[in-house]
Structure 1
Amino acid sequence: MKLTCLAGAFTGVLLSGSAFAADNYDLDPTHAWVSFKANHSGWSNAHGTFKTVSGAIEFDKDDVAKSSISLKIDANSIDTNFEQRDSDLKSPDFLNVAEFPDITFASTKIEKTGDKTALVTGDLSLAGTVKPITLDVTWNIEAPLPWDAKTIKTGFSATGKFNGQDFGLKKLADFGLGPDLLLDIDVEAIKK
């Protein structure tokens, strides 16, 4: 939940020394996957995904620290492959989607860790609580679409984790879940 700053960090690493202004990207909602998993009483990991994700990325190729990412996730779009569980997770005991319909992430800091990797720290807003989390991000590639050379797309993968109880999801333990939620994020974004 899950990123854009990394895009800036990685592009900046690859194109360092070039005199470009910051580039702006819109997430491609048909190529954005934000998923999570949590330990389920030791039996396995319970998985879920959010089907509706949007966002924007801005990165400065000369100074990646000036880059940024913002993500917005429709909390009501949660899908855990079981309708009753989805309904439970949307309730006030968990995501409380009626009161807090959006989950957001806004970057506050980018730290380069390698040629194509970075740590992106940002504020996660979930179920009415805002706390910082850090994502490990990998910049995958930037290239034109094979069928449309005028459309440039970039892509990132990210992972991270946080304690769900820190965000008020107190009922996780009652259901044998967590407490840590592991994030797995893949996004593609189109250059404006």
Structure 2
Amino acid sequence: MLTKSFIPTLLLAAWLPLAQAEEFAIDPTHTYASFEIDHLGFSTQRGQFNRSSGIVEFDPEGKTGRIDISIDVASLDTGFELRDKVLRGESWFNAKDHPYIFFRSQTLIFTDERLSAVDGILVMLGEVRPLRLDISRFKCGFNLAKRQHGCGADATGVLRRSDFGLSNGLPFIGDEVRLRIQVEAYRP
């Protein structure tokens, strides 16, 4: 049984691991979510979202942190404007009613001292599903070109679009989507 005096202590204990975390703002000029999907078995179609925002909190000593990324659906770009308009429309991503895709981390996973994966949730078209992002590159340090301290990563994950209600064109257009996110974030 939790006592009234125990609850503030519990809340403080839950907050303490992040107290040492540094906060970084997502750099929208170096952060893109891109995707790959099978097209009729003939080719792999690719696209990206050109606008994103969010924050990264990271404590390398405590191996804790969090990642919150918002992806602007209206910035979808496959290199073909007519297809982009269709994909942004009501039958697909419905950018008018669902203007953002969100990723929020739940657990940072380390292999030895290296961040190797992030388990979190993806929110798209009002559906919430778990998503693991594998980290192939991760670095924090001073960026000489920007003259700022920051962190960057390359992340990949796989999702099924039908889990989010995107069943158009199945089975001709693939259900499996390979998601790639390159991210850089710097101290505000």
Q: Is TM-score (shorter-chain normalized) higher than 0.5?
A: yes
One-letter amino acid of the counterpart of residue 58, structure 2: F
Q: Distance in 2 between matches of 1:148 and 1:59?
A: 20
Unaligned runs of 5+ in 2: 1-18
Q: Distance in 2 between matches of 1:154 and 1:90?
A: 31
Greater relative contact order, per chain length (Cα 8 Å cut-off, separation 6+): 1
TM-score of the superposed pair, with normalisation by structure 2: 0.84
Aligned length: 170
TM-score of the superposed pair, with normalisation by structure 1: 0.82
Q: Distance in 1 between matches of 2:169 and 2:70?
A: 23
Judge conservation of contact 1:76–1:90 (CA < 8 Å) in 2.
yes
Q: Find out whether 1:189 has 2:166 as its counterpart.
A: no
Unaligned runs of 5+ in 1: 1-19
Match of 1:93 among 67, 91, 94: 91
Aligned-pair distance for 1:33? 1.6
Alignment correspondent of 1:13: none
One-letter amino acid of the counterpart of residue 119, structure 1: A
Alignment correspondent of 1:107: 105
Closer, same or farther in 2 for the Cα pair 1:41/1:111, shift >3 Å? same
CA RMSD, 1 decimal: 1.7
Aligned-pair distance for 1:148? 5.8
- Provide the secondary structure at the position in 2 that maps to 1:170: coil
Judge conservation of contact 1:172–1:179 (CA < 8 Å) in 2.
no
Match of 2:175 among 176, 179, 183: 179
- Provide the secondary structure at the position in 2 that maps to 1:85: helix
Percentage identity across paired residues of the two chains: 33
Larger Rg over CA atoms = 2
Judge conservation of contact 1:123–1:132 (CA < 8 Å) in 2.
yes
Q: Distance in 1 between matches of 2:60 and 2:125?
A: 34
Q: Deviations over 1:135-182 (max 9, x none)?
A: 001343223232564x112210000010000000010416x3211010
Q: Find out whether 1:35 has 2:34 as its counterpart.
A: yes
Judge conservation of contact 1:103–1:125 (CA < 8 Å) in 2.
yes
